[in-house]
A and B are shown apart, each in its own frame.
Chain A
Amino acid sequence: MASICGRFPRASCSLRVGSKPQVGVLALQGDVDEHIAALERAGAKACAVKTRAALDVCAALVIPGGESTTVIKLLDRFALADPLRERVREGMPLWGTCMGMIVTARAVVGLDQPTLGLLDVSVRRNAFGRQNDSAEVDLPIPVLGAEPFPAIFIRAPWIESAGAEVEVLASYGGHGVMVRQGRVLGTSFHPELTADPRLHRYFLGMLAS
């Protein structure tokens, strides 16, 4: 049981130059602590990012689970959207889980919802249904090995269509649920809610490459 509850994180990135590379978790809203704990279990130094200054010192960024309409508005309101786009275009690895993948996508099917446009996919929100259809699934992910991954889908999106440069790394119910385009990774499900470290390790591997 990897449930982590406690005070919502304070901004926690060290702004000192020359400190060990930090993996930031965008902390405007969502399951931030769970990602910080999972990244640290996988061997990284992780911190909560709420400001541009914190974003600037991160070597990689995770956008966690949460509500996409909320976070895209807050990215805009706190002037973080453009700096984030710029960092990713310069090569900073980015991973969006569930809400994070929606925020990262090029477009949201059927909704006039702004996004960051960093992953050349269109996503369908709440694609599997409302909360009563949220589910735990044993998901085959070939790049992580033969053992299926314990994927937790919560009001999850799926990939409706993907551009030529996007690699679909896992599918469920006939739709992509894990995709990668260069140094940008997206998953429909929540590896941070499990004790399985393989996806967080995979993401840290993108930082090393």
Chain B
Amino acid sequence: MEQKGTLTVKRGLAQMLKGGVIMDVVTPEQAVIAQEAGAVAVMALERIPADIRAMGGVARMSNLELIRSIMDAVTIPVMAKVRIGHIAEAQVLQALGVDFIDESEVLTPADDKFHLAKNDYTTPFVCGARDLGEALRRIAEGAAMIRSKGEAGSGNIVEAVRHMRAIGDGIRELTVAPKEELVSRARDLGAPLDLVTYVAENGKLPVVLFCAGGVSTPADASLMMQLGAEGIFVGSGIFKSNDPKAFSKAIVAATTHYDDPQAVVEASLSLGREATAMDGIDLRKVPESELLASRGV
């Protein structure tokens, strides 16, 4: 008796990634650097979010030959992104054999109303969320892992902080809500009652929660872990810094020992005097239409 693609094995892979760092890479060589630094997985992309942001236009699923060459280059899990609601891109990535699919607002949405029916797939999905309602809607659709959206490619942690705090606050509010309120809370959150009840009773999501969007330094990683992230996605923060090898190692160390400021000091010192993190963007100066986080709610 052998069952593949169950909720348990899909959510289970995300559980194995906890406490780790998942890094965006655009070449097999970068994937090897990430693995050597101690990444628990890589996100295979044609362009990192900072470049997607700079180029504009339509961002799609990455070139399959590139994704396959990254799968061949490393032994850690390989993730890849599909456009929100793009059924065929998701089927293609599953057939290619990637380990995790990110239904991502960083790419240009294919469907402006609906996300994928993710329970239909053997491959697990991760989705972004800005608050508890979004997180629970994605879980209801079948997401096996949630990440904060943050504002990808901005080098600015403020949106990720906002989203992690919103998700955490939403969870804490439910744990003290009287039972009589749960149905109307579910209505207000726009989420199914069974998931709202699960969160009220357990004080946590039923799937792993990572932080994504704007992590650029070891201290950023420690901050997000202290705010309740179970692990970290780093997109542009590594390969837009001036020393990717040093930044990737330091962010991994600061994630593991997020609760030990001395260890974060050592991780930060390991970067050396010349280290500079990626350039950041003041998001108050970015027009609403260029923000990625408001895509797919």
A interface residues, Cβ below 8 angstroms from B: 1, 3-8, 10-11, 27-34, 50, 65-67, 69-70, 73-74, 77-78, 98-99, 111, 113, 125-126, 130-138, 152-155, 190, 193
Stretch at the interface among B13-21, B126-134, B181-189: B13-21
Chain A residues closer than 8 Å to B204, beta-carbon distance: 4-6
Whole-angstrom distance from the CB of B11 to the nearest CB of chain A?
6
**Does B15 lie within 8 Å of A3, measured CB to CB?**
yes
Interface-facing stretch out of B38-46, B51-59, B151-159, B289-297? B38-46
Distance to closest chain A CB from B3 (angstroms): 5
Tally of contact residues, B, Cβ under 8 A: 54
Q: Which of B6, B12, B231, B252 contacts A74 (CB 8 A)?
A: B252
Q: Which of A5, A11, A77, A153 contacts B230 (CB 8 A)?
A: A5
Chain B contact residues, majority secondary structure: loop
Known: A27-B19, A74-B252, A190-B12. A5 touches B75 (CB 8 A): no
Given known A130-B97, A132-B4, contact A67–B20 (CB-CB < 8 A): yes
Beta-carbon contact of B19 and A3 below 8 Å: no
Known: A11-B260, A132-B4, A132-B5. A3 touches B16 (CB 8 A): no
Assuming the contacts A3-B11, A8-B258, A50-B256, asked whether A69 and B123 have C-beta atoms less than 8 A apart, the reply is: no
Most buried by B among A29, A32, A98, A153: A29
The one of A8, A98, A126, A155 that contacts B19, using a Cβ cutoff of 8 Å: A8
Subset of 21 A-B contacts with CB under 8 Å = A3-B15, A5-B15, A6-B230, A11-B260, A28-B256, A29-B40, A33-B18, A50-B257, A67-B20, A98-B16, A130-B77, A132-B4, A134-B5, A135-B2, A136-B2, A137-B2, A137-B3, A152-B9, A153-B9, A155-B77, A193-B12
Q: Of residues 194 to 240 in B, which have CB atoms within 8 Å of A's CB atoms?
A: 203-209, 225, 228-231
For A99, list chain B residues within 8 Å (CB).
Answer: 16
CA distance A82 to B205 in the complex (A): 37
B30 interface contact, C-beta 8 A: no
User: For the complex, would chain A's binding face be called helix, strand, loop or mixed by DSSP majority?
Assistant: loop
Q: Give the Cβ gap from B21 to chain A, nearest Cβ, in Å.
A: 8
Give A113 to B9 CA distance when docked, in angstroms. Answer: 26
Check A74/B40 contact, CB under 8 A, given A32-B19, A50-B257, A131-B99.
no
Which among A6, A34, A111, A153 is the interface contact of B203 at CB below 8 angstroms?
A6
CB distance from B142 to the nearest CB of A (A): 14
What is B's interface to A at a CB cutoff of 8 Å? 1-6, 8-9, 11-13, 15-20, 35-36, 38-41, 75-77, 94, 97-100, 122-124, 203-209, 225, 228-231, 249, 252-253, 256-260
Contact A8 B230 (CB under 8 A): yes
Q: Which residues of A contact B257 (CB under 8 A)?
A: 50
Which of chain B's residues has its CB closest to A134's CB? B9
